[in-house]
């Protein structure tokens, strides 16, 4: 009798040829992406284990309990949240501003576009070294510029109070090019007829911006707010390079990713690092879900208002 | 409001879109800018709206120069070709938007919006979004939005080109009625001669950026200023026959036997020896005896109330539009007379308007 695959099998793997073609990509994806994610998630729950031989003796929530107690972890969360709350909205606003300026047919548009896009194509490590030099207290560019205006030297890199503001500026600057490009694409997708119509409806430049540009860019703004928040949450390399392998003066630049890095590479506490990474994952997930929920809520509210008015 | 264009020229990079346009639209008049695609009619409308600045010349509203008045300050209502309704606003918000821009209080805004919606018969759609409306409904909303602020001028850019034939006629009659009721100065752009003929007080026919003729539809049809005008208006198009005009006598070189020297031809411009005779298809008549022309029937097209015949004689082709009371056969040789003959000087450009060109931006 001939072998007949069950309907389930056929449904799931009926196009086995397709799976064959997908296999190379899937194998790489699974080995280097899926497996590590699952493994690191599980690792957070290891209490006793042999790292080298991958033998686990005990499971539990101990590491999560430790994190809840760890002052450093609290500081990392506080710093990261500060960065996100300040840098993400500012970053989006500034990018939108520059995109609108670039879109208004100014001269040397191509030059400006390249300048804004430069940080995006440059290695963050190289960029951080340049910034570290510019911000140097004694022979940095910024202080020497300030000096010509008669402002005394600022210890940008050694004053703990300056660390987060510096990181905010850096974070805005490094993402500017990417966000400007995305916004420009969004702006160019808006039909010029809407602007013509708005002008004849009596809308000045500001009204056109708020009543045509912003509403039409809503999907772009949403996309960027999600990706920007995630980006800022993952701040690490600029801290690592600029503060010469330290999380800033007095740990003032300690971010969650920096904390995870320290746990893993400095203290060799793999399980704690995994637990912290899992917490970071949960935070990012919940913020992203919140953003989606907010959009959904706004839409629901709008629809309800509409339905309500229709009943009148 | 009286609109006056004084020697307007518009140049885009290296093409001249509009050349020395000089005309006036009187208060309360409905004028149609008619012409083939790319003749500069939409550009002219944009310049009146203030969306484009003329390269040369000046536009006046009631004698006031408009050069330094921005589009948003010109007090114009405009309906765009694809309506350009704001997709993120409801119909009501769309209609109220021009009032919002004038800082009118919300209650008053709603009142006005309801009023105009009632006039345009879209009251039931106020809380929908433009995406949920049909083309005809969107058109009505666009007109409501243009009229809600009670502008002095209404501009329409190919307002019916995206609608099906039946809706087109319905809406154009509505617009005409509304325009006459409000006595609002209206300029509208179209490439459809029938549309232009049916609703405008005056037609401004353009070709290649220049005015060909500016007159009432009747006058334009009966006394075309040149061969282009004659060829553009009328469906099926006018028959144009190259001929010689000498001492009041008309001869067609190829058809010696044709003799249709008219008693009083309609002359357009200085007609010399080389001329072109224009005969409207409906001006041709079949006669039993005599007749000025004779030709063989090569094709028959019946259109219900009338019949189009394609006729040929010695390489000259004619179209005749006749009553439906005869049994014509292909191959029949008919004797015809022309009730009316237009004469044009030879060498003018003619336009055989065949419709269906709507790719103008």
| Tokens (6 digits) for B198 | 């049916």
Quick one: pLDDT at residue B54? 94
Q: What is the pLDDT of residues B127-158, one digit of tens each?
A: 899 999 998 899 999 999 999 999 999 999 98
Instruction: Report how far residue A257's alpha carbon sits from residue A240's, in angstroms, rounded to the nearest whole number.
Output: 10
Domains of chain B: 3-227 (3.40.50.300), 234-345 (2.40.50.140)
Report yes or no: A143 and A154 within 8 Å, Cβ to Cβ. Answer: yes
Mean pLDDT of A108-117: 81
pLDDT band of residue B22 (cuts 50, 70, 90) is very high
Min Cα–Cα distance to chain B from A312, Å: 11
Instruction: Report how far residue A225's alpha carbon sits from residue A88's, in angstroms, rounded to the nearest whole number.
Output: 7
**Residue of A191, A200, A215, A311 best to disrupt the B interface, most CBs of B under 10 A:** A200
Identify which of B85, B127, B149 has the shortest CB distance to residue A309.
Answer: B127
Quick one: pLDDT at residue A8? 67
Residues of chain B above pLDDT 70, percent: 96
Report the relative pairing of strands B306-313 and B316-323 from DSSP bridges.
antiparallel
Tokens 């439906």, residue located: B324
Weakest mean pLDDT among A88-97, B6-15, B163-172, B245-254: B245-254
- Mean pLDDT highest for which of A42-46, A102-106, A121-125? A42-46
Identify which of A191, A199, A307 has the shortest CB distance to residue B51.
Answer: A199
Weakest mean pLDDT among A192-201, B34-43, B243-252: B243-252
Q: What is the pLDDT of residues A47-71, one digit of tens each?
A: 888 888 888 888 888 899 999 999 9
Is A192 an interface residue toward B (CB < 8 Å)?
Answer: no
Quick one: pLDDT at residue A3? 58
- Closest alpha carbon to B24 in B43, B6, B39: B6
In B, minimum Cα distance to A194 occurs at B84
Q: Is the pLDDT of residue B358 over 50?
A: no
B72 vs A contacts (CB less than 8 Å): 199-204
Instruction: Report how far residue B263's alpha carbon sits from residue B270's, in angstroms, rounded to the nearest whole number.
Output: 18
- Core vs surface per residue A208-235: b (16+ CB within 10 A) or e: beebbbeebbeebbeebbbbbbebbbeb
Report yes or no: B173 and B166 within 8 Å, Cβ to Cβ. Answer: no
Min Cα–Cα distance to chain B from A215, Å: 7
CB contact under 8 A, B97 and A201: yes
Domains of chain A: 81-256 (1.10.3720.10)
CB contact under 8 A, A193 and B80: yes
Q: What is the pLDDT of residues B280-298, one digit of tens each?
A: 999 888 888 777 788 889 9
User: Chain B residues within 8 A (CB-CB) of chain A?
Assistant: 49-51, 70-74, 76-78, 80, 82, 84-90, 92, 97-98, 101-102, 126-127, 145-146, 149
Min Cα–Cα distance to chain B from A309, Å: 7
Q: Is the pLDDT of residue B361 over 50?
A: no
* Among A residues 209-228, those touching chain B with beta carbons less than 8 Å apart: 211-212, 215-216, 218
Specify the DSSP class assigned to residue A247.
Answer: S
Identify which of A203, A216, A307 has the shortest CB distance to residue B72.
Answer: A203
Quick one: pLDDT at residue B82? 87
Instruction: Report how far residue B282's alpha carbon sits from residue B307's, in angstroms, rounded to the nearest whole number.
Output: 10
In B, minimum Cα distance to A195 occurs at B84
Q: Is the dihedral of CA B50, B56, B62, B65 positive or negative?
A: positive
The DSSP bridge partners found for residue B187 are B31, B155
- Mean pLDDT highest for which of A262-276, B242-256, B315-329? A262-276
CB contact under 8 A, A215 and B90: no
Weakest mean pLDDT among A247-251, A307-311, B55-59, B130-134: A307-311
pLDDT band of residue A237 (cuts 50, 70, 90) is confident
The DSSP bridge partners found for residue B30 are B186
**Residue of B97, B112, B144 best to disrupt the A interface, most CBs of A under 10 A:** B97
Instruction: Work out the angle between the directed axes of helices A218-233 and A270-311 (0-180°, nearest 10).
Output: 160
CB contact under 8 A, A200 and B49: yes
Report yes or no: B268 and B226 within 8 Å, Cβ to Cβ. Answer: yes
A309 vs B contacts (CB less than 8 Å): 92, 127
Measured CA distances, B103 to A199, A209, B72, B147 (Å):
15, 17, 14, 17
Quick one: pLDDT at residue A305? 78
pLDDT band of residue A165 (cuts 50, 70, 90) is very high
Quick one: pLDDT at residue A52? 83
Identify which of A199, A215, A218 has the shortest CB distance to residue B71.
Answer: A199
| String of DSSP letters for B163-203 | S-HHHHHHHHHHHHHHHHHHT-EEEEEES-HHHHHHH-SEE
Q: What is the pLDDT of residues A202-219, one digit of tens each?
A: 999 999 999 999 999 999
From the DSSP assignment, how many helices (H) and strands (E) are in chain B?
Answer: 8, 20
pLDDT band of residue B357 (cuts 50, 70, 90) is very low
CB contact under 8 A, B88 and A216: yes
SS3 B137: helix
Q: What is the mean pLDDT of chain A?
A: 88
- Closest alpha carbon to B190 in B29, B357, B351, B34: B34
CB contact under 8 A, A202 and B98: yes
Q: Is the pLDDT of residue B356 over 50?
A: no
Mean pLDDT of A235-261: 90
| Tokens (6 digits) for B22 | 């000089």
State pTM to two decimals: 0.81
Q: Is the pLDDT of residue B186 over 90?
A: yes
Q: Is the dihedral of CA A191, A194, A197, A202 positive or negative?
A: negative
Measured CA distances, A30 to A15, A23, A37, A54 (Å):
20, 10, 10, 19
B97 C-beta neighbours (distance < 10 Å), count = 25
Mean pLDDT of B79-106: 93
Mean pLDDT of B202-212: 93
Q: What is the pLDDT of residues B250-264, one digit of tens each?
A: 888 777 777 777 767
CB contact under 8 A, A196 and B98: no
Q: What is the mean pLDDT of chain B?
A: 87
The DSSP bridge partners found for residue B210 are B207
Answer with the residue of higher pLDDT: B7 or B235. Answer: B7
Backbone angles phi, psi at B330, to 5 degrees: -65, 135
CB contact under 8 A, B80 and A204: no
A207 vs B contacts (CB less than 8 Å): 101
In A, minimum Cα distance to B52 occurs at A196
CB contact under 8 A, A191 and B84: yes
Output B298-305 pairs: Cβ under 8 A, ≥24 positions apart. Answer: B298/B330, B299/B330, B300/B328, B300/B330
Weakest mean pLDDT among A178-192, A236-250, B36-50, B102-116: A236-250
Specify the DSSP class assigned to residue B252.
Answer: B
B71 vs A contacts (CB less than 8 Å): 196, 199-200
Output A69-73 pairs: Cβ under 8 A, ≥24 positions apart. Answer: A72/A251, A72/A254, A72/A259, A73/A256, A73/A259, A73/A276
Min Cα–Cα distance to chain A from B112, Å: 15
| Tokens (6 digits) for B24 | 């006036």
In B, minimum Cα distance to A218 occurs at B88
Specify the DSSP class assigned to residue B130.
Answer: G
ipTM beyond 0.90? no
């Amino acid at each position: 009798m001939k072998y007949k695959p069950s309907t389930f099998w056929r449904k799931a793997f009926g196009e086995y040829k397709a799976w064959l073609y997908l296999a190379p990509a899937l194998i790489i994806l699974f080995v280097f992406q899926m497996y590590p994610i699952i493994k690191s998630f599980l690792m957070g729950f290891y209490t006793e284990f042999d790292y080298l031989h991958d033998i686990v003796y005990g499971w539990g929530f101990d590491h999560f309990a430790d994190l809840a107690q760890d002052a450093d972890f609290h500081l990392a969360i506080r710093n990261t949240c500060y960065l996100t709350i300040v840098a993400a909205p500012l970053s989006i606003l500034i990018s939108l501003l520059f995109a609108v300026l670039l879109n208004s047919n100014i001269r040397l548009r191509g030059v400006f576009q390249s300048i804004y896009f430069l940080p995006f194509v440059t290695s963050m490590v190289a960029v951080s070294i340049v910034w570290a030099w510019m911000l140097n207290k004694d022979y940095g560019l910024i202080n020497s510029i300030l000096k010509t205006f008669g402002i005394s030297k600022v210890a940008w890199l050694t004053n703990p109070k300056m660390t987060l503001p510096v990181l905010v500026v850096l974070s805005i600057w490094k993402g500017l090019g990417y966000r400007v490009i995305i916004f420009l694409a969004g702006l160019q997708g808006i039909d010029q007829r809407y602007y013509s119509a708005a002008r004849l409806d009596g809308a000045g430049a500001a009204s056109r911006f708020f009543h045509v540009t912003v509403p039409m860019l809503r999907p772009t703004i949403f996309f960027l707010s999600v990706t920007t928040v995630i980006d800022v949450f993952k701040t690490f390399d600029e801290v690592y390079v600029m503060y010469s392998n330290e999380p800033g003066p007095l740990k003032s630049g300690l971010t969650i990713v920096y904390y995870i890095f320290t746990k893993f590479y400095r203290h060799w506490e793999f399980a704690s690092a995994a637990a912290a990474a899992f917490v970071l994952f949960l935070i990012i997930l919940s913020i992203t879900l919140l953003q989606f929920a907010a959009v959904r809520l706004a839409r629901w509210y709008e629809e309800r208002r509409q339905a309500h008015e229709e009943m009148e | 409001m009286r609109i006056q264009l004084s020697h307007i020229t518009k140049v885009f990079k290296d093409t001249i879109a509009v050349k020395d346009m000089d005309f006036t639209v009187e208060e309360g008049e409905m004028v149609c800018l008619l012409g083939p695609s790319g003749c500069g009619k939409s550009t002219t409308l944009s310049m009146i709206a203030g969306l484009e600045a003329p390269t040369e010349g000046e536009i006046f509203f009631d004698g006031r120069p408009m050069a330094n008045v921005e589009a948003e300050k010109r007090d114009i209502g405009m309906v765009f070709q694809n309506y350009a309704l704001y997709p993120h606003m409801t119909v009501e918000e769309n209609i109220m938007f021009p009032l919002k821009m004038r800082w009118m209080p919300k209650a008053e805004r709603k009142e006005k919006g309801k009023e105009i919606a009632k006039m345009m018969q879209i009251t039931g759609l106020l809380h929908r979004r433009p995406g949920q409306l049909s083309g005809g409904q969107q058109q009505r909303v666009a007109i409501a939005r243009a009229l809600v602020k009670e502008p002095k001028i209404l501009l329409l850019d190919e307002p019916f080109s995206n609608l099906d034939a039946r809706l087109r006629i319905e809406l154009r009659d509505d617009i005409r009625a509304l325009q006459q009721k409000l006595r609002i100065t209206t300029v509208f752009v179209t490439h459809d001669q029938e549309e232009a003929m049916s609703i405008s007080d005056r037609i401004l026919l353009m070709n290649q950026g220049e005015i060909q003729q500016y007159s009432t539809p009747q006058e334009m049809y009966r006394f075309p200023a040149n061969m282009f005008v004659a060829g553009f208006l009328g469906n099926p198009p006018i028959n144009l026959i190259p001929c010689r005009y000498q001492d009041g006598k008309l001869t067609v070189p190829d058809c010696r036997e044709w003799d249709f020297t008219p008693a009083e031809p309609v002359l357009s411009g200085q007609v010399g020896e080389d001329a072109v005779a224009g005969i409207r298809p409906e001006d041709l008549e079949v006669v039993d005896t005599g007749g000025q022309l004779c030709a063989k029937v090569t094709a028959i097209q019946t259109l219900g109330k009338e019949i189009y015949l394609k006729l040929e004689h010695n390489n000259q082709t004619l179209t005749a539009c006749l009553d439906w009371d005869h049994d014509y056969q292909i191959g029949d040789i008919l004797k015809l007379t022309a009730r009316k003959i237009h004469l044009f000087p030879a060498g003018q450009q003619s336009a055989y308007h065949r419709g269906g060109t709507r790719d103008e931006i």
